[in-house]
Amino acid sequence: LTTFRITVAYDGTAFRGWQVQPGARTIQGALEAAAAALNRRPTRVLGAGRTDAGVHARGQAARVEIDRPIDAGRLPLALNANLPDEVVVWRAEEVPPDFHPVRDAVAKHYRYTFHVARYADPRTRRFVHRVPHAPDLGLMRRAAAHLVGRRDFAGFQKSGSPRDTTVRTLARLDLAAEGDYIHVDLVGDGFLYGMARNLAGTLLRAGQSRLDPDSLPAALASRDRSAAGPLLPARGLTLMAVLYGHDTGGDA
């Protein structure tokens, strides 16, 4: 029995999110079925982040135990053989049996992508949120500067999410334009439920001059949902990477 950390990419469009739910098509469910086919027994696959319905991943991380001896270099192929096209395991690394994908994660990198265009491009529409008019990047960056750091993000989560603490450290909140696309890169030690999409919505609203960037310190202090931007659609969000420390063999 060997423990692996696998790195997984997926197109989340046609899934009800990461987490196994009875009667629903989920990423975790697809991976557990693929692992069960190798192990010939029900097998748990524990993910680093429970991405929402419609959210994508390039570098989701998960823990899986495989009964029979298999080389880390061959495990992706063996799992992919039993996965749908939208889910691809592209790396596996042997880790200590006590590896825990959530507890051991040092940081996560999410990306929210806007497509500035009057009409959707059918080749990218599944992975972007389209906005007809270009937001002002300068205003978005000014808003971002107020949000980076160790903050109480209580106002930047889906309403009704129960958490012991809502303080998180946002290490990076960067904007990059690439042709008609704007990428918002968010790196932090943890994200509240809906927080990445909420922050993206806050930056967008600032870029549309519908929210004053300099109102954000007060919005953070108020811990009030209504002071932040809207929760943007899941399709624009991708979990790019989960970063681990050297002690667990990661690449952080």
Q: Is 41 in the site for a second copy (CB under 8 A)?
A: no
Contacts 24+ apart (CB under 8 A), 28-35: 28/62, 30/83, 30/84, 30/87, 31/6, 31/62, 31/64, 31/79, 31/83, 31/87, 31/89, 33/82, 34/79, 34/80, 34/81, 34/82, 34/83, 35/64, 35/66, 35/79
Answer for which of 5, 56, 115, 205 binds a second copy (CB under 8 A) is 56
- Compute the least distance from the CB of residue 121 to a second copy, in Å: 6
Answer for which of 50, 125, 158, 225 binds a second copy (CB under 8 A) is 125
Residue with smaller CB distance to a second copy, 82 or 166:
82
- The label of the residue with tokens 């108020």 reads 222
Q: Is 90 in the site for a second copy (CB under 8 A)?
A: yes
Q: How far apart (Å, rounded) are the C-alpha atoms in residues 149 and 153? A: 11
The answer to whether the CB of 46 falls within 8 A of the CB of 60 is no
Residue with smaller CB distance to a second copy, 27 or 95:
27
Residue with smaller CB distance to a second copy, 119 or 226:
119
Q: Is 81 in the site for a second copy (CB under 8 A)?
A: no
Interface residues for a second copy in 224-243 (CB under 8 A)?
238
- Compute the least distance from the CB of residue 22 to a second copy, in Å: 25
Pair of tokens at residue 124:
């990218």
H-run or E-run covering 3:
strand 2-10
Instruction: Kindly indicate which of the ranges 79-87, 99-107, 131-139, 215-223 contains the residues binding a second copy, using the contact rule CB under 8 A.
Output: 79-87
Answer for which of 88, 107, 116, 227 binds a second copy (CB under 8 A) is 88
Binding mask 183-222 for a second copy (x = CB under 8 A): ----------------------------------------
**Which burial class, exposed, middle or buried, applies to 63 when counting CB atoms under 10 A from its CB (0-12, 13-18, 19+)?**
buried
Residue numbers annotated as active site: 52
| Phi (first) and psi of residue 66, to 5 degrees | -120, 130
Helix %, strand %, coil % for the chain, to 5? 30, 30, 40
- Compute the least distance from the CB of residue 58 to a second copy, in Å: 7
Residue with smaller CB distance to a second copy, 58 or 158:
58
Pair of tokens at residue 95:
């880790």
Q: Is 87 in the site for a second copy (CB under 8 A)?
A: yes
Going by their DSSP bridges, the two strands 45-47 and 129-131 should be labelled as: unpaired
Residue with smaller CB distance to a second copy, 15 or 191:
15
Q: Of 6, 14, 12, 23, give the one whose Cα is nearest residue 79.
A: 6
Binding mask 127-156 for a second copy (x = CB under 8 A): x-----------------------------
Answer for which of 22, 97, 119, 179 binds a second copy (CB under 8 A) is 119
- Calculate the alpha carbon distances from 226 to 92, 118, 203 in Å: 42, 29, 15
Residues forming contacts to a second copy in the complex (CB under 8 A) are 9-11, 56, 58, 76, 80, 85-90, 117-123, 125-127, 238
